[in-house]
């Protein structure tokens, strides 16, 4: 098992707090492993195994517990009156009306509840309504570059980055490291599970081919502004008509399934969110390559994808910035304020450097501004704008 330190620290920080811990993320990103690691942590810190109740609803042996009444009774039967009990319900969306079960269990004072789910719907439906203010969400992603490089144990960051892109950030793909075909087979299984179980079956889409076409189009255009009209026009040009409202439904379903991430636009000077020309990013660069059936090229947009996901891991809400007619790749916001990032494969060419610095120079406030590149050069400073090697930044 790979220690997912940042996620573990969050679970530990919220241990025994009167809130439900909800871990969400795409299938096979490591949610079940995280729960197993946390259960081991509890045992090592004095919690008897009899006070830990764990159910994985993907396990066929637990199919009877998908009945909400049976599940509720099962948990109450397993509870011990002495001390805190820890309940782990993995892939809880498999249980009809699970929200009511969780709401009832949460009434018990000596129950600490942990849930996982593979669809953002988990936090946008009845659970959010019933438990408003009584849960915290931990959004999990596949392995970061730092986690991957630490696992393979190489000191050469350039080699590690090439391998990271080639063999996928999904933890399970490490079992097939070095064999691109086996990795492709593994990713096809993940893709089929996400599309069939978490998108098509939930939303009851009839046109599977159209859904896949839209996903491929979004993957092929990571880092480029997209609109539902542009996608609709592209599909129609290919001989398949689809209206913009249906495109929006498909995109929402794909983002709900965590296979696709949306970055909305933000007017930096006007300090307002914009409603058009969002950008989309893939949950895993190698999954993108697998679905598109091509590799190589597009170095800048791939790097942008990696940086976007890393900013999410670091707890930021991430937007595409607009500064007059210029664009800042990422406006990263958290409770401490904002930070701005430009991403470029290389800025050794003077004109490219000036082009990438221009949006950051136009912002005019005192928040941190960083230009990240693959150039293996010493860090630079341009009137307060930091230029840094992106691989070293990813290892921070």
Q: 3-class SS at 173?
A: helix
Range 5-139 classified under CATH 3.40.50.2000: no
Strands 368-373 and 135-139: unpaired
| Dist CA 394 CA 391 (whole Å) | 5
Is-contact 217 238, C-beta < 8 A? no
Q: 3-class SS at 28?
A: coil
**pLDDT truncated to tens, each residue of the chain (396 aa)?**
788 999 999 999 999 999 999 999 999 999 999 999 999 999 999 999 999 999 999 999 999 999 999 999 999 999 999 899 999 999 999 999 898 999 999 999 999 999 999 988 777 766 777 777 889 999 999 999 999 999 999 889 999 999 999 999 999 999 999 999 999 999 999 999 998 778 988 888 989 999 999 999 999 999 999 999 999 999 999 898 999 999 999 999 999 999 999 999 999 988 899 888 899 999 999 999 999 997 767 899 999 999 999 999 999 999 999 999 999 999 999 998 999 999 999 999 999 999 999 999 999 889 999 999 999 999 999 999 999 999 999 999
- Ordered by start, the domain boundaries in the chain are 5-139, 145-394
The DSSP secondary-structure symbol of 317 reads: E
3-state secondary structure 110-163: CEEEEEEECCHHHHCCHHHHHCCCCEEEEECCCCCHHHHHHHHCCCCHHHHHHH
Helices and strands, counts by H and E, the chain: 16, 13
Q: pLDDT value at position 126?
A: 65
pTM of the model: 0.95
Contacts of 336 (CB under 8 A, 6+ apart): none
- pLDDT tens, residue by residue, 118-171: 988 777 766 777 777 889 999 999 999 999 999 999 889 999 999 999 999 999
Q: Can you name the residues that pair with 113 across neighbouring β-strands?
A: 87
The DSSP secondary-structure symbol of 194 reads: I
Q: pLDDT value at position 22?
A: 95
Write out the DSSP string of 80-92.
-SSS-EEEEEETG
């Amino acid at each position: 098992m790979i220690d997912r330190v940042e996620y573990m620290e969050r679970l530990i920080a919220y241990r025994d707090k009167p809130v439900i811990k909800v871990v969400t993320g795409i299938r096979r990103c490591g949610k079940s492993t995280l729960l197993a690691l946390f259960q081991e942590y509890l045992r090592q810190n004095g919690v008897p195994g009899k006070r830990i109740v764990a159910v994985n609803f993907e396990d066929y042996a637990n199919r009877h517990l998908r009945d909400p009444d049976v599940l509720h009774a099962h948990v109450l039967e397993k509870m011990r009156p002495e001390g805190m009990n820890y309940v782990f319900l993995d892939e809880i969306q498999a249980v009809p009306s699970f929200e009511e079960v969780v709401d009832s269990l949460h009434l018990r004072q000596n129950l600490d509840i942990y849930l996982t789910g593979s669809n953002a719907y988990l936090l946008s439906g009845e659970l959010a309504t019933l438990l408003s203010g009584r849960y915290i969400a931990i959004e999990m992603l596949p392995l970061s570059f730092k986690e991957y490089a630490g696992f393979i144990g190489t000191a050469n960051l350039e080699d590690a980055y090439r391998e990271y892109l080639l063999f996928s950030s999904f933890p399970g793909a490490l079992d097939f490291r070095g064999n691109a075909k086996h990795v492709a087979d593994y990713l096809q299984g993940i893709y089929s599970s996400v599309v069939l179980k978490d998108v098509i079956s939930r939303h009851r889409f009839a046109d599977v081919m159209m859904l896949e076409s839209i996903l491929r189009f979004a993957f092929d255009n990571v880092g480029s502004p997209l609109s539902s009209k542009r996608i609709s026009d592209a599909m129609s040009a290919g001989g398949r008509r689809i209206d913009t409202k249906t495109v929006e439904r498909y995109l929402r379903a794909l983002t709900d399934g965590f296979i696709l991430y949306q970055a909305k636009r933000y007017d930096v000077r006007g300090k307002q969110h914009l409603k058009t020309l969002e950008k989309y990013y893939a949950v895993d660069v190698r999954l993108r390559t697998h679905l598109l059936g091509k590799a190589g090229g597009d170095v800048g947009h791939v790097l942008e994808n990696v940086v976007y996901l890393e900013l999410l891991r670091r707890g930021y809400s991430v937007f595409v910035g607009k500064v007059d007619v210029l664009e800042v790749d990422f406006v990263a916001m958290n409770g401490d304020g904002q930070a701005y990032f430009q991403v470029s494969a290389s800025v050794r060419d003077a004109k490219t450097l000036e082009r990438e610095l221009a949006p950051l120079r136009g912002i005019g406030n005192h928040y941190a501004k960083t230009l990240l590149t693959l150039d293996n050069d010493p860090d630079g400073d341009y009137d307060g704008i930091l230029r840094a090697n992106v691989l070293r930044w990813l290892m921070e």
